[in-house]
């Protein structure tokens, strides 16, 4: 008990020493500067965003990495300006099958952007082969094949192999084979 | 002594800065989820920013625009950016996105976006006009501009970057389609495209709630992997740019990967996170099963609400019908892919007991309804009308063309309340539903709530009501979620229906996992907790599982 009182006294003496008038002024100045800086940054945040979700909006200037991405965007443009296409020659494309479930084949063709082509699915099983066709249409930056439906009982049950061939006045090509499981 | 002084000086600073410096840490590739790039509630939130907010944001990203291209080009043989720009047919002056303006001719409304007025508009105005017209978050559009052409952070953008700002109409290895040239066109067609994906989901490669194979790169041989599209916005992003980042691209999140890497969707995700915060707010995975009968469902971004009855969808045709049933928007669930495949079998009608009148005639009718069919009875006098406890505020006024003068019964007495009215027997404290010529006790408050009954509609019972035979107790409606007190198993109530549509029995269907429960967009508060003896009384039907 006694030693505790002693310790208490010791601590308060230390505190008194630490909090001499001079030091108090220094601490006060630091606190004021700190709060001033905080108030300034808070104010900046407010003027910068004002949005309902301003707690998460990053209004810092572009980073060096973001700036260099802008340079890469320009380089891609510069490269594409220099690339040439041979007139009169059909472009070779490779359709991609993305889904064969739900009784339809979904596929697209990158590298071309047109409405005029056709997408032909060739289904094969054993010696049997069957084709179904749909049209291609523009989607953002590539050509989308309209889904090719196969759930009309024209395919017997079992595993079929399917490829998609794209054909238009400007481009042509066949996809890799995919599998269709007909129930 | 000096240490003390140092502590006295530095500690407060450390404390202050520790408190106020932004503590957000860099995004980690482990947070990438291929099937859940962004939530629909974020991607399609058109009100996340206003025009002034967008302008402030663009100003902040590029404090100094290099209008004359006078900074060093960083390319051998070209001293300044302007020199390199000229060599690529892109001479100065360069206009940064924050200063960009364009004469916009305006667009008319279509089924995807509302009309946008013409005029001379800033980039921020264009972004916000398109955002509001098409229902896409301006943040999503800003990030798309950055992902495609880095326009947001560019100090000296080229005209080509504006011309093809969102990459719309620009195939990978060919020239862009001039039809879509121009900053406005690019922003507009990009936003509109995400609405096209919502309205015609089965036409495109990737469909919300389904799995599709997403390639890593346009180059053949780089492979693909199946991705389950957990949100509509994620499916939309893959339809827009059909590639996912490979592990090399993810391992170097702020740089390049390898020859099989692609960056579009990675950069969308990364930039959105870095600039606007997390892309995931209400992380749940949409379930791959249909909702039980009795559930209201709606596809995100489309206005139509459907009620599922007997495994088919019934369109709720207007807000009056919706309100007549006492529905609230919080009980409209996000439609799953299997829900969207359910046949549409007609429209839901008003709730039985709804009072209607034509705009031009004074006659008030009360409806008696099945799910898709109502007959009306004419309340023949004001005395009968008020004697039944009705007020004119309860009467729904419809266009006269919808209310013909045919009726099935003429109601001439208020001695007994009508079909679907609620009455309170003050002597016993019991509330009864008048139905099928009987009084049917509503045995619990939970059933009262689940049936969307309202206390304001409960009338004092008349002697004639109490003299009616007692019918079966009112039970939970179809689609109600129940859990026995002390048991975590959640069940959905299902009613058997005979061919004519009337209920013939009830069963409980177990929702087998918490994942399916949240994937059907149910919340714990949606579940009625009842006595175990009550759940035990139901027979058990098919489980609700994936």
How high is the ipTM of this complex?
Answer: 0.72
Cβ-based contacts of B90 with chain A (< 8 Å) = 74
Average pLDDT, integer, range B527-534? 91
CB A165 within 8 A of CB A157: no
Q: What is the dihedral of CA B25, B26, B28, B32, to 10 degrees?
A: 100
Query: Who among A61, A106, A111 is closest to B205 (CB)?
Result: A106
Roughly what angle, to the nearest 10 degrees, separates helices B138-149 and B51-61?
Answer: 30
pLDDT of residue A20: 56
pLDDT beyond 70 at B11: no
pLDDT of residue B487: 87
* Candidate from A3-12, A29-38, A162-171, B209-218 with smallest mean pLDDT: A3-12
Nearest Cα of chain B lies from the Cα of A9 at a distance, in angstroms, of 19
**Tell me: the pLDDT tens digits for B167-180?**
999 998 788 999 99
pLDDT beyond 90 at B221: no
Cα(B381)–Cα(B251) distance, rounded to whole angstroms?
Answer: 78
pLDDT beyond 70 at B324: yes
Closest residue in B to A30 (Cα–Cα): B9
pLDDT beyond 60 at B90: yes
Closest residue in B to A104 (Cα–Cα): B202
Dihedral sign (CA A23, A29, A33, A34): positive
Cβ-based contacts of B205 with chain A (< 8 Å) = 98-99, 106-108, 144
Cα(B364)–Cα(A176) distance, rounded to whole angstroms?
Answer: 67
Cα(B495)–Cα(B294) distance, rounded to whole angstroms?
Answer: 9
Question: What average pLDDT does the structure give for chain B?
Answer: 90
User: How many beta-carbon pairs below 8 A join chains A and B?
Assistant: 184
> Tokens 């063709």 map to which residue?
A109
> Tokens 């002056």 map to which residue?
B93
- Percent of chain B at pLDDT > 70 equals 93
Listed in order, strand segments (DSSP E) in B316-379 are: 332-334, 344-347, 355-358, 364-369, 374-379
User: Model's pTM, two decimal places?
Assistant: 0.68
Q: Where are the alpha helices (DSSP H) in B277-360?
A: 319-324, 337-340
Cβ-based contacts of A52 with chain B (< 8 Å) = 47-48
pLDDT beyond 50 at B202: yes
In sequence order, what are the residues at sequence separation of 6 or more whose Cβ sits closer than 8 angstroms to the Cβ of residue A85? A91, B174
Domain boundaries, chain A: 2-48, 91-177
CB B339 within 8 A of CB B313: yes
Q: Which two tokens stand for residue B519?
A: 């994937």
pLDDT beyond 60 at A107: yes
Three-class SS of B487-539 = CCCEEEEEEEECCCCCEEEEEEEEECCHHHHHHCCCCHHHEEEECHHHHHCCE
Q: How confident is the model at residue A31 (pLDDT cuts 50, 70, 90)?
A: low
pLDDT beyond 90 at B79: yes
Q: Which fold has domain A91-177?
A: Immunoglobulin-like (2.60.40)
Cβ-based contacts of B4 with chain A (< 8 Å) = 18
Bigger pLDDT: B433 vs B496: B433
Test B239 with A140 for CB contact under 8 angstroms: yes
**Tell me: the pLDDT tens digits for B135-178?**
999 999 999 999 999 999 999 999 999 999 999 999 987 889 99
Average pLDDT, integer, range B432-438? 94
Average pLDDT, integer, range B357-378? 91
Cα(B406)–Cα(B378) distance, rounded to whole angstroms?
Answer: 9
How far from the centroid of its chain's Cα atoms is residue A61's Cα? Answer: 22
Q: How confident is the model at residue A87 (pLDDT cuts 50, 70, 90)?
A: low
**Tell me: the pLDDT tens digits for B46-62?**
988 889 989 999 999 99
Test A69 with B168 for CB contact under 8 angstroms: no
Query: Who among A31, A41, A112 is closest to B174 (CB)?
Result: A112
pLDDT of residue A24: 55
Closest residue in A to B220 (Cα–Cα): A94
String of b and e for B405-419 (b: at least 16 CB within 10 Å)?
eebebebeebebbbb
pLDDT beyond 50 at B365: yes
Nearest to B129 by CA among B118, B140, B236, A51: B118
Cα(A116)–Cα(A171) distance, rounded to whole angstroms?
Answer: 10
Query: Who among A51, A85, A108 is closest to B205 (CB)?
Result: A108
Q: Which residues pair with B423 in a beta bridge?
A: B432, B459
Asked if A173 reaches chain B (Cβ–Cβ under 8 Å), the answer is no
Nearest Cα of chain B lies from the Cα of A92 at a distance, in angstroms, of 11
Asked if A61 reaches chain B (Cβ–Cβ under 8 Å), the answer is yes
Nearest Cα of chain A lies from the Cα of B50 at a distance, in angstroms, of 7
pLDDT of residue B527: 94
Nearest to B436 by CA among B413, B420, B454, B412: B420
pLDDT beyond 60 at B534: yes
Cβ-based contacts of A16 with chain B (< 8 Å) = none
pLDDT beyond 90 at B469: yes
pLDDT of residue B50: 87
Test A56 with B52 for CB contact under 8 angstroms: no
Asked if A84 reaches chain B (Cβ–Cβ under 8 Å), the answer is no
Asked if A147 reaches chain B (Cβ–Cβ under 8 Å), the answer is yes
Nearest Cα of chain A lies from the Cα of B204 at a distance, in angstroms, of 7
Nearest Cα of chain A lies from the Cα of B498 at a distance, in angstroms, of 31
Cβ-based contacts of B57 with chain A (< 8 Å) = 48-49, 57, 59
Question: What average pLDDT does the structure give for chain A?
Answer: 77
Cβ-based contacts of B206 with chain A (< 8 Å) = 98
Cα(A148)–Cα(B260) distance, rounded to whole angstroms?
Answer: 29
Best residue in B83, B155, B173 for a mutation probing chain A (most A CBs within 10 Å): B173
- Percent of chain B at pLDDT > 90 equals 74
* Candidate from A121-125, A139-143, B45-49 with smallest mean pLDDT: B45-49
pLDDT beyond 80 at A1: no
pLDDT of residue B172: 84
């Amino acid at each position: 008990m006694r030693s505790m009182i002693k310790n208490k006294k010791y601590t308060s003496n230390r505190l008194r020493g630490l909090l001499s008038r001079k030091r108090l002024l220094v601490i006060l100045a630091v606190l004021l500067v700190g709060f001033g800086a905080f108030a300034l940054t808070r104010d900046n945040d407010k003027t910068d965003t004002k949005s309902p979700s301003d707690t998460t909006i990053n209004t810092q200037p572009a980073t060096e990495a973001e700036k260099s991405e802008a340079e890469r965007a320009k380089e891609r443009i510069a490269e594409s300006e220099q690339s040439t296409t041979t007139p009169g020659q059909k472009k070779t494309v490779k359709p991609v099958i993305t889904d064969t479930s739900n009784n339809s084949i979904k596929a697209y063709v990158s590298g071309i952007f047109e409405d005029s082509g056709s997408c032909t699915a060739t289904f094969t099983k054993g010696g049997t082969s069957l084709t179904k066709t749909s049209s291609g249409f523009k989607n953002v930056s590539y050509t989308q094949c309209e889904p090719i439906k196969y759930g009309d009982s024209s395919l017997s049950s079992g595993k079929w192999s399917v490829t998609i061939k794209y054909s238009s006045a400007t481009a042509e090509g066949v996809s890799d084979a995919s599998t269709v499981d007909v129930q | 002594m000096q240490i003390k002084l140092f502590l006295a000086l530095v500690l407060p600073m450390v404390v202050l800065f520790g408190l106020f410096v932004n503590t957000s840490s860099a995004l980690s590739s482990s947070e990438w989820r291929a099937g859940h790039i962004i939530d629909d509630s974020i991607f399609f939130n058109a009100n996340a920013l206003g025009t002034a907010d967008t302008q402030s944001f663009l100003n902040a990203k590029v404090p100094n625009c290099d209008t004359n291209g006078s900074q060093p080009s960083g390319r051998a043989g070209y001293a300044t950016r302007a020199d390199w720009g000229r060599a690529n047919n892109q001479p100065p002056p360069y206009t940064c996105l924050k200063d960009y303006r364009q004469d916009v001719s305006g667009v008319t409304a279509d089924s995807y976006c509302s009309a946008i007025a013409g005029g001379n508009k800033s980039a921020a105005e264009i972004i916000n006009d398109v955002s509001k017209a098409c229902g896409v978050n301006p943040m999503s559009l800003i990030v798309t501009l950055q992902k495609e052409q880095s326009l947001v952070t560019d100090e000296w953008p080229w005209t080509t970057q504006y011309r093809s700002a969102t990459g719309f109409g620009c195939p990978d290895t060919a020239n862009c389609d001039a039809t879509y040239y121009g900053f406005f066109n690019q922003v507009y067609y990009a936003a509109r495209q995400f609405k096209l994906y919502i309205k015609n989901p089965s036409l495109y490669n990737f469909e919300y709630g389904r799995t599709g194979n997403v390639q890593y790169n346009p180059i053949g041989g780089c492979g693909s992997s199946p991705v389950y599209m957990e949100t509509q916005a994620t499916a939309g992003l893959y339809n827009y740019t059909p590639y996912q980042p490979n592990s090399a691209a993810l391992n170097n999140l702020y740089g390049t990967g390898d020859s099989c890497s692609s960056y579009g969707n990675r950069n969308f995700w990364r930039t959105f996170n870095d600039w606007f915060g997390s892309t995931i707010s209400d992380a749940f995975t949409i379930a791959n099963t249909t909702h039980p009968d009795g559930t209201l469902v709606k596809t995100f971004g489309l206005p139509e609400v459907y009620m599922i009855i007997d495994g088919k969808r019934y369109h709720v045709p207007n807000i009056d019908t919706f309100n007549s049933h006492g529905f609230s928007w919080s009980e409209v669930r996000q439609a799953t892919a299997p829900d969207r495949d359910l046949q549409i079998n007609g429209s839901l009608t008003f709730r039985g007991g709804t009072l209607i009148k034509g705009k031009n005639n004074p006659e008030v009718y009360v409806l008696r309804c099945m799910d898709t069919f109502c007959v009306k009875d004419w309340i023949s006098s004001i005395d009968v009308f008020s004697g039944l406890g009705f007020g004119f505020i309860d009467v729904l006024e419809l266009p006269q063309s919808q209310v013909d003068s045919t009726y099935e019964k003429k109601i001439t007495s208020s001695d007994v309340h009508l079909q679907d009215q609620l009455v309170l027997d003050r002597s016993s404290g019991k509330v009864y539903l008048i139905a099928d010529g009987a009084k049917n006790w509503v045995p619990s408050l939970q059933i009262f709530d689940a049936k969307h009954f309202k206390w304001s509609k409960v009338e004092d019972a008349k002697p004639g009501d109490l003299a009616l035979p007692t019918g079966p107790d009112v039970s939970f409606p179809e689609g109600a979620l129940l859990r026995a007190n002390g048991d975590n198993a959640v069940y959905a109530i299902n009613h058997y229906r005979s061919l004519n549509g009337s209920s013939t029995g009830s069963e409980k269907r177990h929702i087998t996992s918490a994942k399916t429960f949240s994937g059907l967009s149910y919340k714990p508060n949606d579940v009625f907790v009842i006595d175990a003896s009550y759940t035990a009384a139901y027979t058990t039907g098919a489980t609700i599982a994936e």
